Amino acid sequence: MDSLKNSVKQSLDEYAYKKIEVDQQAKRRLITQITLNHKPSKRKYFPFIPSLLAGTGALLLAFLLFFPQLQPSSIDEDKIHQFVTEYKSIQYTIEDHIHSPSGLEISEKVKGYLSEDAYKKQMANRFYDTAPSIAQQTNKSIALLEVKLEKERENDKGTIDYKYTSKIKIYDNESSKEIEIKGQLTISNENGLKITRDWENQKLIQRELFK
C-alpha cells in the first residue's frame, strides 16, 4: 500500500515539474516573440528638413509683413474717380467771375488731395491760376461737368498713372460753352489716396477757349 502511494506521488511530482518547465519555456518564447515584433524601426533622417522648414517660415513672415504694401494696385476705381472728381471740381468751380478766388486760395483748398512734393511743384508752376485766368478772360463763371479717367499703368512703387479728360462749362446768363481739358496724373495709396503728379495741356486749353 505504501509503495503504491509513493509511486503515485512520484508520478504527480514528475508531471508537475514537466508542466512548470513547459510553462517556463512557453513564457520565454512569448517574451522573445514580443521583443522581435517591437524592435524600433530605423527611421531615415534628413538633415536638410529643419533648414527647409525654417526658410519657409521666414518667407511666410516676410510675405505677411510686406503684403499690405502690395495693395495699392487693388484700389477701388470708383473711389479714385470720386477722389479726382472732387479735386477737379474745387479747381474748376468759379461761381462769380467778378469775385473769383485766386490761384493761391484754390491751392489751399486742394492741398489735402496732393502729396507734399506734388503740392510744392504745382505751387511753383502756378498750376491753379488757370481757372481764375479763364474767368477773367471771358468774364464768365466756370463749372466742372465730368472727369473721365483712363488707367495707363501700375508702377512698381505702388502708384497708378492715369490719363484724364475734364469737361468744364464756361457760362453766363446769356450763353455757355463746353471745353475739354486733357491731362495726366498719378495716384498713390501709401497713406490714403494722394495725387503725386498732375499735368494739364495748357496750350490746348487756350486753343479750345478761343476757337
pLDDT of residue 12: 47
Is it the case that residue 210 has pLDDT exceeding 80? no
Whole-number Å distance between alpha carbons of 20 and 23 = 5
Q: Give which of 194, 172, 181 is closest to 131, Cα–Cα.
A: 181
This prediction's pTM: 0.65
Which three three-digit cell numbers place residue 184? 495726366
Average confidence (pLDDT) over 179-206:
93
Is it the case that residue 38 has pLDDT exceeding 60? no
Instruction: Report pLDDT digits (tens) over 77-96.
Output: 999 999 999 999 999 999 99
Higher pLDDT, 3 or 111: 111
Please provide the size of the chain in residues. 211
Q: Give which of 97, 83, 91 is closest to 109, Cα–Cα.
A: 91
Most confident of 6-10, 38-42, 179-183: 179-183
Higher pLDDT, 210 or 135: 135
pLDDT of residue 98: 92
Strands across the sheet containing 141-154? 141-154, 159-171, 176-188, 194-200
Residue that the C-alpha cell 476757337 belongs to: 211
Strands 194-200 and 141-154: unpaired
Confidence of residue 7 (pLDDT cuts 50, 70, 90): low
pLDDT of residue 50: 52
Query: Is 73-209 a domain of CATH 3.10.450.540?
Result: yes
Whole-number Å distance between alpha carbons of 163 and 199 = 10
